[in-house]
Structure 1
Amino acid sequence: MFDVDMLLSSFGLLGILIIVFMETGLLIGFIFPGDTLLFTAGMMAHADPPFTPLWTLMVGIPIAAMLGDQLGYFIGRKVGPAIIHTRAMQWIGPEAVEKSHHFFDRFGAATVFLARFIAVVRTVTPVVAGFSHMDHRKFTFYSVLGSAAWGGLIPLFGYLLGEIPIVQKYMHWFILAGLATLLIPFGYQVYNIIKKQRQHQNHTPPTPAEATTPNQS
């Protein structure tokens, strides 16, 4: 039978917090579906034995999310709009950047709160806020609200689902299903990144030296 202890030793609370931090702080955690990760962690907190106490998720995840937002904001402020052309942002794709701009145009500063609940957009929003010179205090205010709501409520919903008798009976299978929804999108994102990188390499124009090299045939 599937052992929850194995999950704790291989993934761990620290691993979840690092992924949450990276998602907005280092622009690379976007490959993980954060909502599913948090929901599954909440279910695992209700397992027997528990993955970790629920309160550690509801406190630790918002803090990790806030810190990630702050780092993303300062990266955007420091690097400026040029960050759009970095490899990490190219991996994410221009669609997420355009969507973030659309949300800012429509909702203003509240975008920082709303973006927490939208995959990939929450990765880009702090950076966009940074290079757009959004007021830092206002950014932090909405970041704290969004991180607390997202990082507290989603694990709580997962935990409450674990209260349902049929879920308790088949908890291990529900956890396995949750992990599958994590690993499959993760593999798909990695595949897309590798595919984009290979396409970029295949379409890289030749250097002047290569272009002027005579044909030896």
Structure 2
Amino acid sequence: MSDFHWTKLFNPEFYITMEINGIPIGIYMVLFIVFAETGLFAGFFLPGDSLLFLSGIYNRELVETFFIISSDLSNVIVLSLLIASAATLGNIFGYWFGSRSGNYLYSKEDSFFFKKKYLIQSQTFFEKHGGIAIVFARFLPIVRTFVPIIAGIVHMKKSKFMFYNVFSSLLWSFLLVFAGHYLYSLFLDQFNVDLKQHIETIILTLIAITTLPLVLNYFKQKKLLKNSEK
């Protein structure tokens, strides 16, 4: 760890390849981050979509911590199910936290780990899209952290919440993990390009794609506010 730099905390590959005394703990870090990002309001700054995509690339190394599976397809399915389980539990915790102490967040002072504006933006997003917001939120950084908390605050029906929760967790994990695995294989087999050598480009591209809707929505809201003041 002598070459550690704090910027590595924002690099998903750092967590995936992490070891302690030569023992790989990447799978544990991936599952914890997925849980934290979707269940703890302090997890909004952690890597999400890029973490899942890279997990698909490193699927064999991650799964072999638990199982030795010869089939690539089985490896990817097992990893996707593990991640979906962590995401589901994270949302359940967020829902519970929101139902028990959600109103406290609206009076909480801003800090490094908490920004009230994200909570308000997520509430607006939830009110606009209803239950399906839980599905949309999975693919939006920051919003996915706060939407389950909002669902708990407004006491969304538990059975309805669980349906969207499980469905969105499976959709999110399977899409991104499978995309990472099979795009890696495609580029390696067809173009002789090893995506592991282009991790930074992949991360920046995914960040740009996933944050674009948030940026567009920001300017849209700013324009509406400006027009309302005229």
TM-score, with structure 2 as normaliser: 0.67
The Cα of 1:129 is off from its aligned counterpart by 0.8
Asked if 1 retains the 8 angstrom alpha-carbon contact of 2:39 and 2:90, the reply is yes
The Cα of 1:83 is off from its aligned counterpart by 2.2
Q: Where does residue 97 of structure 2 map in the other structure?
A: 75
Asked if 2 retains the 8 angstrom alpha-carbon contact of 1:84 and 1:90, the reply is no
Q: Where does residue 172 of structure 1 map in the other structure?
A: 196
Rg comparison, structure with higher value:
1
Cα RMSD (Å): 2.9
Over 3 Å counting, the alpha-carbon distance change for 1:103 and 1:171 in structure 2 is closer
Name the CA distance, whole Å, in 2 between partners of 1:141 and 1:65: 13
- Among 2, 10, 13, the residue aligned to 2:27: 13
- Among 42, 49, 57, the residue aligned to 1:28: 42
Q: Where does residue 85 of structure 2 map in the other structure?
A: 63
Q: Where does residue 155 of structure 2 map in the other structure?
A: 133
The Cα of 1:168 is off from its aligned counterpart by 5.5
The Cα of 1:105 is off from its aligned counterpart by 2.1
Over 3 Å counting, the alpha-carbon distance change for 1:93 and 1:80 in structure 2 is closer
AA partner of residue 173 (structure 1): Q
Query: Does 1 or 2 have the higher relative contact order (CA < 8 Å, sep 6+)?
Result: 1
What's the CA shift string for 1:78-110, capped at 9, x where partnerless? 113112334677734233222222222221111
The Cα of 1:54 is off from its aligned counterpart by 1.6
Q: How does 1:192-207 map to 2 (within 5 A)?
A: none
Name the CA distance, whole Å, in 2 between partners of 1:131 and 1:65: 19
What's the CA shift string for 1:146-168, capped at 9, x where partnerless? 11100111111011111123676
Name the CA distance, whole Å, in 2 between partners of 1:62 and 1:145: 9
AA partner of residue 77 (structure 2): W
Name the CA distance, whole Å, in 2 between partners of 1:72 and 1:156: 26
Q: Where does residue 187 of structure 1 map in the other structure?
A: none
Asked if 1 retains the 8 angstrom alpha-carbon contact of 2:39 and 2:94, the reply is yes
Name the CA distance, whole Å, in 1 between partners of 2:94 and 2:34: 12
- Identity between Structure 1 and Structure 2 (%): 32
Q: Please tell me whether residue 40 in structure 1 is matched to residue 64 in structure 2.
A: no
Name the CA distance, whole Å, in 1 between partners of 2:127 and 2:182: 36
Over 3 Å counting, the alpha-carbon distance change for 1:87 and 1:159 in structure 2 is farther
Name the CA distance, whole Å, in 2 between partners of 1:166 and 1:30: 36
AA partner of residue 97 (structure 2): I
AA partner of residue 33 (structure 1): P
Name the CA distance, whole Å, in 1 between partners of 2:87 and 2:110: 19
Q: Which runs of 5+ in 2 are unaligned?
A: 1-13, 64-74, 208-230
Q: Where does residue 196 of structure 1 map in the other structure?
A: none
The Cα of 1:28 is off from its aligned counterpart by 2.1
Over 3 Å counting, the alpha-carbon distance change for 1:88 and 1:113 in structure 2 is farther
Q: Where does residue 184 of structure 2 map in the other structure?
A: 162
AA partner of residue 75 (structure 1): F
AA partner of residue 7 (structure 1): T
